[in-house]
Structures are given as C-alpha cells and as structure tokens.
C-alpha cells in the first residue's frame, strides 16, 4: 500500500483525520517530530474516533530516521510551489506521500532533499494560499489507491 509522511504536524485534528484515513485505506501514517501536540490530545483522539487501533502509525524523532525506516521508496513532496500535478504520477505500492506542517508547508530544504523523487501540487483557484493538510492527504491517497483499483476496498 501507500505511506503518508507528515513533517512536523502542528494541528491535532488534522493528524486525527489522517489516522482515520490510514485506517480506512490501509495506508501507513508516519509522523516526524517535533509534533505540535501530545498524542494523547483530546482533539487528536476525537478526530480519529475509534480508528486509532485500526491504523498503522509510526512516530520518528527526525526526518532522517523516518527516511531510513521507509527504505528506498519513492517520495513525493506535496507543495504549492510545485508545477507537476499529483494526477501526473503513476503511483506504485510503497510510495511515500510527504506533507508539511500547517500553516507553512514543507521547508525548502525538505522539498529539495536528495531522497525526494518529485514535488507535486494539488490544483487550486488563484489567490488561495493552501488547502487543509488532512484534505490534501486524502485527495492524494485516494488518487494513488484509485490507480490501483482500490485493492481491499468495498
């Protein structure tokens, strides 16, 4: 399946929604510290509902540790500064979908990391700064899963 990598997320509700997304799609969720919240945060628990036990989630102390754990997988960095659309990629099982923290997105050094395969964007109307982190992750995960025929989905 696919893997989501959240770089230093700040809003617990978004991570809680990503936990539900991971549980619903079989996607792994990887979080890079520091987190902007405690994992026992009520907002995180509320957004994730009872899906926490159904999701695969790993917390990494830093980006390099996360990348080492993810092996040689392709890594796609999602950023408003990219020119390539997320729909232009033929996703492969094991691909990593990398997203930045709210409200600033991925730092430039992370976007340009040698392990990053490509930078991708989700189209938006002009004059809009960005979309919600959990919404972006959902759009990207479902596109990758769709391309593979939603294996295991009902």
Residue (of 142, 133, 95, 137) closest to 11 by Cα position = 133
In the sheet that 118-121 helps form, which strands lie side by side, from edge to edge? 57-60, 28-32, 3-7, 96-99, 75-78, 118-121, 84-85
- Strand, coil or helix: 16: helix
Domain 3-147 has CATH 1.25.40.320: no
Token pair, residue 80, equals 């408003």
- Quickly tell me which residue has 């991971």 as its tokens: 22
pLDDT tens for the chain, residues 1 to 154: 899 999 999 998 899 899 999 999 999 999 999 999 888 767 666 655 577 788 999 999 999 999 999 999 999 999 999 999 999 999 999 999 999 998 889 999 999 999 999 999 999 999 888 889 999 999 999 999 999 999 999 8
Token pair, residue 64, equals 């390099």
């Amino acid at each position: 399946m696919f893997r989501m990598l959240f770089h230093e997320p700040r809003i617990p509700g978004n991570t809680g929604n990503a936990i539900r997304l991971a549980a619903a799609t079989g996607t792994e969720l990887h979080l890079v510290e520091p987190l902007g919240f405690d994992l026992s945060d009520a907002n995180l628990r509320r957004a994730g509902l009872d899906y926490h036990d159904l999701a695969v989630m790993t917390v990494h102390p830093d980006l390099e540790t996360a990348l080492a754990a993810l092996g040689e997988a392709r890594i796609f960095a999602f950023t408003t500064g990219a020119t390539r659309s997320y729909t232009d990629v033929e996703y492969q099982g094991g691909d990593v979908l990398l997203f930045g923290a709210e409200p600033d997105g991925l730092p430039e050094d992370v976007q340009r990391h040698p392990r990053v395969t490509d930078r991708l964007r989700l189209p938006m109307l002009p004059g809009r700064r960005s979309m919600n982190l959990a919404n972006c992750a959902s759009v990207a995960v479902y596109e990758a899963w769709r391309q593979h025929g939603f294996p295991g989905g009902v």
